[in-house]
Amino acid sequence: DTGVSQDPRHKITKRGQNVTFRCDPISEHNRLYWYRQTLGQGPEFLTYFQNEAQLEKSRLLSDRFSAERPKGSFSTLEIQRTEQGDSAMYLCASSLWAQETQYFGPGTRLLVL
Amino acid sequence: DAKTTQPNSMESNEEEPVHLPCNHSTISGTDYIHWYRQLPSQGPEYVIHGLTSNVNNRMASLAIAEDRKSSTLILHRATLRDAAVYYCILRDVWASYDKVIFGPGTSLSVIP
């Protein structure tokens, strides 16, 4: 399977802990995106990368959130000092170029207790 | 950003055609109409997109009104696997941003 993969698929953590998610995009896709989705809502944009450069961050991405794509391949999304409101599905997508079709991974479901 | 309006939910019988409507009255000339769907517990999946002409692919057909203010996603024979949330999205190819802006979508139920 050469689609977008995300790890872990599920994460349960206690409030105040740090968590890190990984996304592996489709090989050779230059653009990588992170979205967050809460129950009953459509995905909301968080940030995106062109190769290793982070080009845009949403206001949803508070100071506790940080994303990296160090070598222009996989990406990590870290949430520090998690809060219950961070409980959501975190989705990663990739595309070959700007404005091209985005291909989504299966998501990481986070539950903060 | 131009916005879309979709019904919250729809039902269809299995093996019957399904017509999912989308209104986008403020669409601009450079907005493409995209459809994604999201199966339960999965990430969104691209379905189809178009600009002005009707489009067909192996998954669905997209019918676009002549004035482009509305469109319809057509599933020719609904199966149980088509039960999902369907999102109608506008993407401006000349936009400075590159994110996909999702609305709440239409939740499609397929009745056996």
Q: What percentage of residues in chain B have a pLDDT greater than 70?
A: 98
B91/A33 Cβ within 8 A: no
| Contact (Cβ atoms closer than 8 angstroms) between residue B6 and residue B71 | no
Per-residue tokens: B84? 């999902």
> Which band of pLDDT confidence, cut at 50, 70 and 90, is reported for residue A1?
low
**C-alpha–C-alpha distance, residues A15 and A35, integer Å:** 21
Residue A108: name the closest of A43, A21, A2, A48 by CA: A21
Residue A105: burial class (beta carbons within 10 Å; 0-12, 13-18, 19+): buried
Cβ–Cβ pairs < 8 A, chains A and B: 55
Q: How far apart are the first and last CA of chain A?
A: 33
B87/A42 Cβ within 8 A: yes
Q: Is a pLDDT exceeding 80 seen at residue B33?
A: yes
Sheet of A5-7: strands edge to edge? Answer: A5-7, A19-24, A75-79, A65-68
Q: Could you tell me how far CA B43 lies from the centroid of its own chain?
A: 15
pLDDT confidence of residue A113:
97
Residues on chain A touching B49 (C-beta within 8 angstroms): 101
CA of B101, closest CA in chain A: separation in Å? 7
> Which band of pLDDT confidence, cut at 50, 70 and 90, is reported for residue B99?
confident
Question: Containing H/E element for A43?
Answer: none
Residue B11: name the closest of B108, B94, B112 by CA: B108
